[in-house]
Structure 1
Amino acid sequence: MCPAVAVAEPVPGAVMSVEPLPAELSVPGAVVAERLTYRTQWRSGVAAVGTGVLFLPPGEAPDGGWPVVSWAHGTVGIGDDCAPSRNRRIERERRYLAHWLSQGYAVVAADYPGLGTEGLHTYLDGPTAANSIVDVVRAARAAEPSLSQRWVVVGQSQGGHAALHTARRATARAPELDFRGAVATGAPSNLELLFPFGVPGFPDLDLDGLVSFSAYIMAGLRAARPDLDVNSYLTPVGRDLVDAAEYLCYGDLEDRAADVDVGQLLSRPLGDDRMRAALADYLGVPTRGYDRPLFVGQGLRDRMVPAPLSFKLVADLWAGGADVDYRTYPDDHFATLFAALPDTTPFVAARFVR
């Protein structure tokens, strides 16, 4: 008999491939644009493959290398065709990433596991997204020696949620790097407290994207927790929409959901003990254990992520001892991204002073 041979677990951040990114998929101001395929992990610790991009600014790297902004993207969908590294980024995101390049940062951007790689992207699964956001920094440094160990995470919307999770685990996950802090704007939070109120016939709350976001959440939860039998909570209309959410990107899902009210999705309440516990585990944002400064920005006219959700989040973060710079803006969900730049730009610069 042959002796058993130990097989090493894939190392998170290990580079599997590097390829030039087509020019139409790059962003203004990037003199290098590459697509990375790398090793990462699901929240369970099971090995996963991630993809992402690396953008470099012009000029020579400063002493110590280019400081790194790890960008956490907002909602695009959960199907492979929705992966940001496979598509031209929307103009808003192109302008935003160009800003950070113009400030002298290298920008890396994870797609999140399941977007363009094996498995379904588990939407708003913060720990899994955070793993990929940390590991794309590792991969980028392995692929590009001019990058510094020093880095921050910046995220908007879904990416704001992911940025907070990243900030909670970055130092412990990658002690060989030098994590400095996080920016999160328009970050959904406390959803685990709201979803259990969902019942059949729940009224329309006049929130932008609510039906589509709910479908993505239920699709992700269904994939992450098959033991819950998520389909048993859904009407035929709900099951059809959640099935479609697995492959339709956000704009197409919005079109598909245009005539569906959120109350049409559910066949029974989401408030039983088992579902409440699952939602808390799946959707919750940690409020303790942060070891680096946070910037949290919120639009007061945000109709996707209402401001009161962030009020409670920040109160809980402060109570938990986090160093949080909290700012509000008289703007909607997307305008807040740019309204906050006069504050987020010096916040990020200050993280790299020492």
Structure 2
Amino acid sequence: MTRTRATGAAPARRLGSLAVALTVLALVAPAAASAAPGPAGAPGAVVSVGSLPADAQLVGARDSQLLSYWTEGPTGAPAVSSGAVYLPDGPAPTGGWPVVSWAHGTTGVADACAPSRGEISDFAQAYLGTWLAKGFAVVASDFVGLGTDGTHAYLHGRSEGRAVIDMVRAARAVTPELSPTWVAVGHSQGGHAAMFAAHEATRYAPELDYRGAVATGTPANLEELFPLGGPGFPDLGLDGLPAFAAYVVDGLRVARPDLRVDDYLTPVGAELVGKSEQLCFTELLAAAGDVGVGEMLSRPLSDDAFRTAVRDYLAVPTTGYDRPVFVGHGVQDTTVPYPLGAKLAADLALNGQDVTFRTYPGPHRASALESLPDVTAFARALI
């Protein structure tokens, strides 16, 4: 069954921004020490368990812990991710707490940017605290390379999605109060990861009871936009575009060393991409200053090799989902423009997927908070 619902500003006004969005390129858009594990274990196998630093604690959680676990890296080889487990207050219900596997938004790619290693944001406190209050345990992957060995491949869909799934496996191995019943939830970069987790959750982890996914502010359809980039690409006024582009290019370096990504960069672009490996998001924004995407690129990104690499790296699937998906987006989003989310929902619906689509009046992060009554009710109905 396909369900599509939309609320918010008039479609005509939103469609007016589609032309702009379709010319955008490159948007998207103290913890335990890094693990040094022995031979690779099975996906979800726990490597270490420890305590979260005080700044990474979630208000309203009765108990929390930090763990690291085996999953898959961006080249397809086994790799280690870390993450946090948060339990609601009170005794667990019969069968255990249902689980939200949370996929976080952009923080950066350096180890210091891992959510479990530093101060949890006010947004995450409010957003995840609501899920706890609704009776869900929250497990939150950092993703491969954030706080663990290697470099995080930003927006590499397959590895991020599998880290979200394997986080549930790992958390259940060390937390008996958790039910096998779970949903994937993510915003921004995390919305992208949640969609990839949703696409293969039942096939990849059949021993779990996956019910559905929530993805808001999702940077979809970027594989159609990247090939539009090149020298002189105009400044479209999108929030953080050069920083997001630097993270994606750095991720391609990690996942596709055969592509010779550096050949597409000017010295200015190469310098910013280099800085992206050391600086978290707000710091990289400051370092980027007034640099535009057009100044970062030495040649067009429209050749077949780059097109194919980008599609394989980050294209969100629009078929093959066997559980319901909730897609939400803010009409004032200037980080991941609304038409990208609208097109994702439309493609899912046209392909017969069970999708619920809602719009919200606010910008990027605010729209995720605005969605909470809808998304928590959606998840509760699935469970």
TM-score, normalised with respect to structure 1: 0.96
Q: What code does the residue aligned with 1:187 have? A: T
Percent identity of equivalent pairs: 56
- Alpha-carbon distance, 1:22 to partner: 2.6
* Match runs of 1:212-231 below 5 Å: 212-231=243-262
Q: 1:68 aligns with which of 60, 74, 99?
A: 99
The corresponding residue for 2:334 is: 303
Corresponding residue number in structure 2 for 1:89 = 120
* TM score, norm. by length of structure 2: 0.89
SS in structure 1 at match of 2:61: coil
Which among 17, 21, 26 is matched to residue 52 of structure 2?
21
**How far apart are residue 43 of structure 1 and its match?**
4.5
Q: In the alignment, which residue of structure 1 is the partner of 2:370?
A: 339
Partner residue of 2:84?
53
| Partner Cα separation in structure 2 for residue 53 and residue 195 of structure 1 | 33
Greater relative CO, 1 or 2 (CA 8 Å, sep 6+): 2
Do structure 1's residue 147 and structure 2's residue 178 form an aligned pair? yes
Do residues 37 (structure 1) and 68 (structure 2) align? yes
Q: Which residue of 2 aligns with 1:271?
A: 302
What is the 5 A alignment of 1:146-295? 146-295=177-326
CA distance in structure 1 between the partners assigned to 2:116 and 2:373 by the alignment:
28
Shift of 1:178: 0.3
Deviates more, 1:30-39 or 1:43-52: 43-52
1:8 is displaced (CA, Å) by: 7.7
Q: Which runs of 4+ in 1 moved over 4 A?
A: none
Over aligned residues, Cα RMSD in angstroms?
1.1
* Aligned mates of 1:234, 1:49 — CA distance in 2: 30
- What is the CA–CA distance in structure 1 between the aligned matches of 2:342 and 2:70, rounded to whole Å? 36
Residue of structure 1 equivalent to 2:153: 122
Contact 1:43/1:131 (8 A) holds in 2: no
The answer for unaligned runs of 5 or more in structure 1 is 1-6
Deviation at 1:321, TM superposition (A): 1.8
Deviations 1:269-324 (A, max 9, x none): 00001111111111200001000000000000000011111122111111222100
Change (3 A) 1:320 1:195: same
Distance in 2 between residues matched to 1:9 and 1:79, nearest whole Å = 23
Distance 2:94 2:75 in 1: 38
Counterpart-to-counterpart distance in 2, 1:43 and 1:148: 29
Distance 2:138 2:151 in 1: 25
Is the Cα–Cα contact under 8 Å of residues 216 and 329 in structure 2 kept in the other structure? yes
Query: What letter is aligned with 2:121?
Result: I
Q: In the alignment, residue 266 of structure 1 is paired with which amino acid?
A: L
CA distance in 1, matches of 2:159, 2:282: 24
* Larger mean Cα displacement after TM superposition, 18-27 or 299-308: 18-27
Shift of 1:44: 4.2
Q: What SS does the aligned partner of 1:31 have? A: strand
Give the whole-Å Cα distance in 2 for the aligned partners of 1:313 and 1:92. Answer: 25
**Secondary structure class of the residue paired with 1:12:** coil
Deviations for 1:24-71, whole angstroms, at most 9, x for unmatched residues?
A: 320110111100111111244311011000000111110110000000
* Secondary structure at 2:80 match in 1: strand
Separation of aligned partners in 1, 2:109 and 2:285: 13
Amino acid at match of 1:313: L
Please give the alpha-carbon distance, in whole angstroms, between the structure 1 residues aligned to 2:141 and 2:64. 13
Mapped to 2, the partners of 1:256 and 1:23 lie a distance apart of: 29
Amino acid at match of 1:23: A
